[in-house]
Amino acid sequence: MTSTLTRTVRVGILGFGTVGSGAYRMLQDNRDAILRRVGVPFEVTKIGIRDTAKPRQLPAEMFTTDLTSIVDDPAIEVVLELIGGVDPAAELVERALRNGKHVVTANKELIAKHGARLISLAKSKGLDLHYEAAVGGGIPLVQPLKHQLAGNDVLKMMGILNGTTNYILTKMQREGADFADVLAEAQAKGYAEADPTNDVDGFDTMYKISVLASIAFHKHLPVEGVYREGIRGVSLLDMQYADALGYTIKFLAIVDAIAEDTILARVHPTLIPKTHPLASVNDVYNALYLHGDFVGDLMFSGRGAGSDPTASAVVGDLLDVGRNIAGGGSGSAIPFDEEPLKTCPIDDLRTAFYLRLVVQDRPKVLGIIATEFGEHDVSLAAMEMKTLDESRGEIVFLTHPCLEKNFRELLVGLKQSGVVEEVCSSIRVVS
C-alpha cells in the first residue's frame, strides 16, 4: 500500500483573503522544508475569488471567479475552502467531495451547520475532510480531540475561542476603557469587522464550541443547542468590581457533560478567578481548557486567528492529506453522528453569579433584598455596598452556586420588591 513515488499534489484554493493568501504564502515560503518532511511537493494550480479588480500578488491567470470550475477540475486533488460562510461554501465542498477531492476548510460555521453530513460524505467516499483551522486558529485542538484524546470521556471544556472579543476585554481591563471605545478602535485598526455581530454577539464562538463538542461527544451539537450571550453588556465598572473580588471577566464557551449523551453548552461573559490559567490568556490569544476522565486537566493556548497562525493549521491539514495520497491510504475523516446531542436548557445550570444592583438607600432595604435571596434559594458568598447619592446605593453580590432558574426568578422578585431601582448586571462565575 505504501508508495515512494514522488508526484505533485495539485491543490485548488477557494478564497484568497486573510487565510487563503496566508496558506499560499506558507506553502511557498516553506516549500523545501515541507518537501523534505512530507516527501511530496504541493502545487496550487487555481485560486477562486469574487472580485477580479482587487490587486493580487500573483499572475491573473491563477485566479478565477468560477469556483465551480475548481471543484470540478479533474487535475485538482485537494480543495482548500477558505471563503467562509455557508453559501456557496457548503455547495462547493459537497461538490468537491462528490468529485472525489479531499477538502480542507477553516470554516467553523460550515462545520457547525453541515459538518455531520459533509464529514460522513467524505468518509463514505474514502476522502479526507479536515478542519483544524476552524477552531483556535493555529492551536492544534480539532485533531488532538479526534485522535490523542479519543479514549477519554470529556467531562468539561472551557474555551476562549474568539480573538477579537478577548482583545476587547483585555484592552478594557488594562486601559480602563469602555466597550464602545475599544470596539471603535479595534474596528479602525482592522482587528474587528465593520459589522462586529459575529464576534461580539458570540456567533463565532458558538460555531466553534459546536464543532468542538460535536467531536468530543461524537454527536452533532446543533448551534440552537448552545445558549449564547455576547459581551456588549460588559461594563468597565463590572470589570473593576470583578478585579477587586479577585476575578477577571473573559468571554467563555463552556460545555459540561451532564449525563450520557447530554450536555449543557453556553457562551457568555464569565468571571473567572485570576489564578485560573484561562485568566491570563490575553489579547488575541485563544485557549482551550479541557477535563477528561483519564487525561485530567489539559490546556492549549496560542494564536487563535490571523493570517499566519490560521495558515499553519490549514497547511498542517493539507500535508496530512498529501501524506495520505502519497501513501495510497484511504481518507481519515472521522464523522460525528448526525443524530444531535441532547442539551440541557440554561435554566438547569448550577452556577454562581455576580450581581450588581442600584437600590434605594433607606432602612430595611437590605432586609427585603436578603429575604428575596432566601426565598429563591440563592445564598451569598460575598457582598459589597456603596452609597451613590443621598437616596441610592450600589450593591455587588457574589452568590454561591445556585440553579439558574432560581436566580432568574430572584431577579424578577428583586425588580418587583419596590426597593431595587435597577438590576445593572448579572454575570455567571466560574469558581
Ligand X SMILES: NC(=O)c1ccc[n+]([C@@H]2O[C@H](COP(=O)([O-])OP(=O)(O)OC[C@H]3O[C@@H](n4cnc5c(N)ncnc54)[C@H](OP(=O)(O)O)[C@@H]3O)[C@@H](O)[C@H]2O)c1
* CA–CA gap between residue 402 and residue 380 (Å, rounded): 10
In degrees rounded to 5, what are phi and psi of residue 119? -70, -40
Which of ligand X, a second copy, none does 20 bind, CB closer than 5 to 8 A by kind? ligand X
* Count of chain residues binding ligand X (CB under 6 A): 24
Q: Which three cell numbers stand for residue 218?
A: 461524537
Ranges within 263-292 binding ligand X (CB under 6 A): none
Q: Which of residues 123-182 bind a second copy (CB under 8 A)?
A: 123-124, 126, 132, 138-140, 143-144, 147-153
Cα separation of the two ends of the chain: 52
* List 106, 161, 200, 369, residue binding ligand X (CB under 6 A): 106
State which of residues 222, 302, 340, 401 lies at the interface with a second copy (CB under 8 A). Answer: 302
Binding-site residues for L-homoserine = 193
Number of other CB atoms surrounding residue 25 within 10 Å: 15
Angle between helices 108-124 and 89-98 (to 10 degrees): 10
Of 183, 186, 228, give the one whose Cα is nearest residue 207: 228
Query: Which residues have CB under 8 Å from 112's CB, separation 6+?
Result: 206, 207, 208, 210, 211, 214, 223
**Binding-site partner at residue 54 among a second copy, ligand X, none, CB < 5 to 8 Å by type:** ligand X
CB 333 within 8 A of CB 142: no
Of the candidate spans 13-21, 55-63, 242-250, 310-318, the one that interacts with a second copy by CB under 8 A turns out to be 310-318
Look at the block and give the residue holding cell 452533532: 220
208 is catalytic: yes
Q: Find the binder of a second copy among 155, 185, 229, 300 (CB under 8 A).
A: 300
| Residue whose C-alpha cell reads 455576580 in the numeric block | 354
Encoded one letter per residue, x for contact with ligand X by CB under 6 A and - for no contact, window 19-48 reads xx---------------------------x
Cβ nearer to a second copy, comparing 144 with 222: 144
Q: From the candidates 101, 208, 219, 250, which is the catalytic residue?
A: 208
CB-wise, 121 or 395, nearer to a second copy? Answer: 121
User: Which lies closer to a second copy via its Cβ, residue 76 or residue 154?
Assistant: 154
Cell of 30: 516553506
Single out the residue of 366, 365, 397, 396 nearest to residue 379, CA to CA: 397
Q: How far is the CB of 189 from ligand X (least distance, A)?
A: 14
Per-position b or e across 70-96, b if 16+ CB within 10 A of its CB: bbbbeebbbbbbbbbeeeebbebbbbb
Give CA–CA dist 128/198, Å, rounded: 28
With CB under 8 A, what is the number of residues at the site for a second copy?
A: 63
Q: How far apart are CA 390 and CA 42, in angstroms?
A: 73
Q: Do the bridges between strand 154-160 and strand 247-259 make them parallel or antiparallel, or are there none, so unpaired? A: antiparallel
Cβ closest to ligand X, residue 83 vs residue 395 = 83
Rounded CA-CA distance 35/54 in Å is 31
> Of ligand X, a second copy, none, which one does residue 293 interact with (CB within 5 to 8 Å by kind)?
a second copy
Near ligand X by CB under 6 A: residue from 70, 78, 83, 216 = 83
For ligand X, the closer of residues 88 and 126 by Cβ is: 88
What part of residues 293-322 is at the interface with ligand X (CB under 6 A)? 305-306, 310
**Interaction of residue 362 with a second copy, rule CB under 8 A:** no
Strands (E), 345-387: 350-360, 380-387
Q: Amino acid identity of 360?
A: Q
Between β-strands 102-105 and 78-81, what pairing exists: parallel, antiparallel or unpaired? Answer: parallel
Distant-in-sequence, close-in-space partners of 195: CB < 8 Å, separation ≥ 6: none
Q: Pick the binder of ligand X from 7, 37, 54, 174 (CB under 6 A).
A: 54
What residue is closest to ligand X based on CB? 17
Each residue 107-146 as x (binds ligand X by CB under 6 A) or -, in order, gives xx------------------------x---x---------
**Under the rule (CB under 8 A), what is the footprint of a second copy?**
1-2, 22, 26-27, 29-30, 33-34, 36-38, 123-124, 126, 132, 138-140, 143-144, 147-153, 218, 277, 280, 292-303, 306, 308-309, 311-313, 315-320, 323, 327-332, 334
Catalytic machinery residues = 208
**Under the rule (CB under 6 A), what is the footprint of ligand X?**
15-20, 48-51, 54, 67, 82-84, 88, 106-108, 133, 137, 305-306, 310
